[in-house]
Structures are given as C-alpha cells and as structure tokens.
Structure 1
Amino acid sequence: MTKDIKTIDDFNFENQTALIRVDFNVPVNKSYKITDDTRIQYSIPTIQKILSEKGKIVIISHFGRPKGVPLKTHSLKFLVDYLSQKLKVSVSFFGDCIGETALKKVNKLKNGEILLLENLRFYKEEEKENDNFAFELSKLGDIYVNDAFSVAHRFHTSITVLPKFFGKKKCIGLLMKREIQYLNQFLYGKGKRPITILLGGSKISSKIDIIENLINFADYILIGGGMSYPFIKIKGGKIGNSLIEEYEKTEKTLKKIFHKYQNKIDIIHLPIDVIAADSFKNEAHTKTLPIDSIPNGWMGLDIGPRTIKKFCAIIEKSKTILWNGPMGVFEFQNFSSGTRSIAKTIANITEKGAFSLIGGGDSIASLRIENCDKKISYLSTGGGAMLDSLKSEMLPGIKAII
C-alpha cells in the first residue's frame, strides 16, 4: 500500500456527502435476480463506515454496455430493494446521474441517507474521459471515494477524470484497499515461499508482461489453457488446430523471454498432456495426447491427467498461490476436469494454511461449481484490473487518487 493513497479512514464523513464510485455491474438472471453479489458484498463495509459517521451517500456505477443509450434493460433500479435489505437503510433512486434535478435530490439528503443514481454509461461521455461530464458529476459530492477496483484499469470519466475536481478530498474505499494490499504480496514477493502463479485462459497477449514481471520472484509459474499453445509451438511442438491467440504478435516477445530468462526458464511449467477433441463442442470425440503431438484436425481443450497431477503436486507444496484463468474450455462439462481439479486443490491447500488469491470470472465460477469459493483467502473482484496490477503498473484509477 503506498503511503500517498488516502483511504476512507483518512476522512471524517459527518455532514459530508460521499460520492462513491462502485462497480455494481453484477450478473443477473432474466428476472433481474442477482446471481453473484460478490462485488456488492465487498463494497458494503465502505458504505457502512460512512453511514456510521453520519455521512450522506451518493452511489454511482455502470451496468452492462448500453453504449450511451438509456435502456430500461440496463437501469440500476433493480438494485434498490436488494441494497435496502443488505444495508438495512432505505435506499432512494433517481433515474439520471447528472443535472439540476439530480443535484436537488442530493441536496435534500440527510445524514445517514443513501441515493443511488442511474447507470453512468447511459452517457457515452463516461467511456471517453470527458471533462464536462466529470464536472457535472463532481457537483454531487464533497468527497470522492473510488471503491470500484474491477474498473480501476479503465480510462473512464468517473475513474480518471472525476477525482481531479475534488482536490485533496478524494480517497479509495475498503474494497480497493484490500485488493491493493493482497496484490502487493505478489508484486513485491512478500508472500511466504514457495510462491506459485497459475495463469490460464486464451489471451496470452495480456499476460506476457505479467510473466516477465513475476518471473523475478515467483518459484513456479504454471501455464495452462489456450495460452500454453504458443509456448509449445515456439518449442517446435505440433498443436494441431488448438486455438492460438495473436501468435504473430506474441511470437517475438515469447522468444525474447526464453532468451532473456534462460537461467530462470525452469520456473515456467507447461502442460505435458491434453484432452484433445476433433471439434469445438462438448460431445466431440476425445483422446489424451502429449501436448506437443496434437495432429491436424484435433485441438487441445483441457489439460490432461499427467498435467493435473504435476500442477496439483506443485500447488500442494506452495504457501502463496495466485490464479487467473481456466485450464481449458471448462464451460463444456467434458473439458472442465483440469480447471475443477485446480480449484479443489487450491481450496484444500488454503485450508491447510496457504494464502490464495484468485481473480477472473471463469476461475471464480469454477470454484463455485466445486463449492469451494468460501475456502479461498481472497477472491479478487477484478480480472482485468488484477492482471494490469501484476504487470507492475499503477492502475489509472489509483493514480487519479494520488
């Protein structure tokens, strides 16, 4: 945690209006029942602290991608009852997030009251770092609080421009504070050793910088999922029709990593075998193959049994574990074994005293399938923001607070 970042603990909110930027972009079903309320749950302590100090609260958030069009399907109104129940306070709602009427509503707030404003993304300016939109939003509070870690990597008006209008009266909330503290355990190698980083998913381009940054202090970097195939291809392996993202873009960089870190390359562990399929569907014909011997017409869709055994053995001797990204196409039941085995193993080792930090929707979803999400030390609310932090970059949303 850098000393320059003010948190809500640095302010007294009595008689002050806190403008809190949260990320309540939560998954919902067709009847707008929330299917995963993690992000809201994690922001509740911030809201409660301000309420306990007799502050007034104005909540701003986005929901979905309405692209500047006010759509009923993307309104935040569905959150009112849920928030009122969770906070045991009546939450009021206004169907806009700027303008004279919104300002009047804010000015009528009494200490301990909460107003939820409409979806920021109903204005296209939100995603364009717009000064005028930021100025209009800034009229709605005395102190700006950013508690939206999951969008802190975005250059959006309410994240990067809005804080400028608050001078020194800006800070992060408790969710953001926890995220930064836990990520710092990895960024500065502070965690107990051995430190294991597990990276999966298909996008290798977003994770190359992370590998370069973490290779300096991780004991093990395990690479699975679609991002393992470019490594295998560079080493001369046959990967058949396995999905490979932006290979031309990443080939040079990967070769550079292999060359630059020759003495540390044994830290990186790739899959040994895969469950290969003859088509991209759950009912495809399958066979278990060495990862570097996949024939044309076949594609690797999950890590194989030998890899599961190898990866799980490494995890079991680790004291600090970070995981982002699935090991295969885990939304297909027949190709979910690798991801689910990893989830269970991390949960088990956490129960024995290891520290685990997991981010990314798919990784967290796999933990929920196995009913072991409650056994993890910390579930990060932001996949993309977590990845950007691990590149050792200060997130734009945090930089804007300093």
Structure 2
Amino acid sequence: MSEPRRIVIVGAGLAGASAAAALRENGYDGEVVVLGAEAHPPYELPPLSKKVLLGQGDEPDWVRDADFYAQHRIDLRSGTSATRVELGARVVLDARGGRHPYDRLLLATGSQPRTLPVRGVDLPGVYTLRTLDDALALRSAFTGSPRVVVIGTGWIGTEAAAAARHHGADVTMVDVLPGPLWVLGPEISKVFADLHTEHGVRWRLGSGITEVTGGPGGVAGVRLADGSELPADVVLVAVGAKPRVDLAHAAGLDLADEGGVAVDASLRTAAPDVYAAGDIAAQWHPRYGRRIRVEHWANAKNQGTHVAANLAGGQEQYTRTPYFFTDQYDLGCEYRGIADPERDELVVRGDLGKREFTAFWLRDGRVTAAMNVNMWDDGDALKALVDGDATVTAEQLREGDLAALG
C-alpha cells in the first residue's frame, strides 16, 4: 500500500493517541488529525482507579506531554465528538459541523460503562468510573466515612472498593456471582474475597439488584432481589463496559459477535483503508485462531502503536497476548494470556494463603495464562511460557526452573 497523505483518528484515548505518536516516531510526514470527545488531553485509564481514586495524585498518566502534539504537527481536536463516518466519501463529520476527509481512518472510540436496567440508577450519588472527571468526583464522594455500595465485583469494582476503604468508607460489595473476580475461577476468587474481607469489606453475593432507592436529594439505598435493602450514601455501578461502536455500526462496518468492530489480524476492517484498535477491535488473532476483544490498558497502547505502521502502508499482524495488572491494598499482580477456568487446570506455585504465588492455567500441556501475585522476579519467564509452544507439566510449573521451561 502507498503512504496516505491524511490520516484521521477518531478517539483520543490511549489507542488513538499512541497511534498518532507512533506515526510521527515512525517517520510519517502527512497530516494527522485526532478527534477526541473529552476536553482533557489523552490520558491512560489505569491510574483513575488506582492513584487518583486513592488520592495519590489529581492527574492521570498523560499519554504524552501537553505540547507534544503541536510540536509533532498532530492536530489534536479535544472536545470534538465525531458524529458520522461516510465511507464512500471518505470523510468524518463532527458535532461542531466540521468535515475531516481522510485517506486512511482509525477508529479508536473505546468503551463506556454499562448500566443497570433498574429504577434509581440516575439518582444523585450513583456513579460510574471511566473518565478523569468520574474518578475525581467519586474520590470526593468517598471522603467523610460514607456508606458505599459497589455493584459489581470485577476489576474496577474491587479496585474502587479498596480505594473507598482507604478513605474510611463503609463498603459493601454486591454481585450475582458467587465471588469477586469470578472470571479467574473459585480458588483465585477466594484470594481476593479474603483480602477485601480482612480490610473490612462486606459482601452480598449471589444476589441481583432490583432498585436503587432515594429521591431528588440523593441515593438512600440499594434493594436486592430478596427484598432486603442496603443503606447507601454512595453507589458505584461497576458492571463492566461496552465498546462504543455506534459510529462504526451507523457507517455500515461489520460488527463481531464479541461486540466490537470486526478486524483482521492487521487491525483492518472490511472497508477500504479503515482500521480499528483498542477496546472496540474484535481482532482475528493469529495466536488463538479466533476473534478476541480485549479492554485492558496494554492492548490499547500496543495496538495503537502497532496499527500506526499499517496506517502508513504496512500490513503487519498484531500477535501480542493480552496483559493487565491490578493493585489492591498490599496486593499487586500481573496477568498474561487468556484462561478458561472451566476448561483449564489451575496450577499454583507458592502460597495462596500468604498471597505470594504464581497461578498457571494449563491446557493440553501448554500454559494458556499466568498470573503472578506479589512475586516479581519471573515476568520474562511467564511471558515466554504464555507466548511459547513449550509443553510442560503441572509439577514442572510448581517446582521447576521457570526460565528453563519457556
């Protein structure tokens, strides 16, 4: 493919901003326009539920310094929402009436929080967490020892619960699932359940929500499916995120069963010269032989950087395995790969009770995923085991030299 003269990027989050920066760093000399709905410059999301919510800083990690974009001739249009993509005309329209012709287009519109189809979720005192402004507002709400109910026990919910306890809030977590982070299976879920219990979090698990109660003055409580009500001054709805694909769908792009925009291994859609990266990209992944869609920080950053070369004319496949991390109280962990706890054998190296261990998920003699908890010496070895094709046994993972196995 020849090099385009003008590249438009819709979405000024980590994926879009990383792509714009990588275009310049790779030597691309054409026009680069980035449209972002938020007024803030591009920033990374993980610090919102960590250092910002904990009060360790008022700013996230900016993708680049504020003056980087102008210095590198990147036309960053903050506070500008794209409203329409006309594939035939090769133009993006924005809410201010602007028209942005493109030779190549990257959609990196990210995700938005899911909500609950129950009465009261729009009351004052009910929050979601996705943006910097969300994090600052929620942090303020956590002060003064309020009664906090967190609906949802995934990564955002558990990190936010830890932050709320840090601020002295009374915290109850609610979920229809049997335990927090159930996606990791019951054994690892129990590690996180015990961690939060030791820090004073209460649980209402296996229970649905029927209503958030209160009035114009604010939230008063959360009513559960069994009829009981949890009193609350603050409610955080943390029941996952959904990809922002309305723009792509309206343009006629193919959507995948995984909920995102269907792209091939090089992150290219079926439409000529249109790509997608980050949360919305349902990529055909050559390592897994199927489509996957990943909503984590590393995926947005790495896909954004990778797709830049393809926007400029390359055709390289994206082959990285998923990676994410979390910090909760005194627990830190990293996770690599994609496990299916219902199919894979869990192998633990270390001590679950002391929360110093590495968990492996093993299928047909190969490691599908690895998670190190409060153990930091084996990162490269774990990556090699997840990325490689070496055949290993459970005993080797428990007792062997991990570096030699990969």
TM over 0.5: no
More strand by share: 2
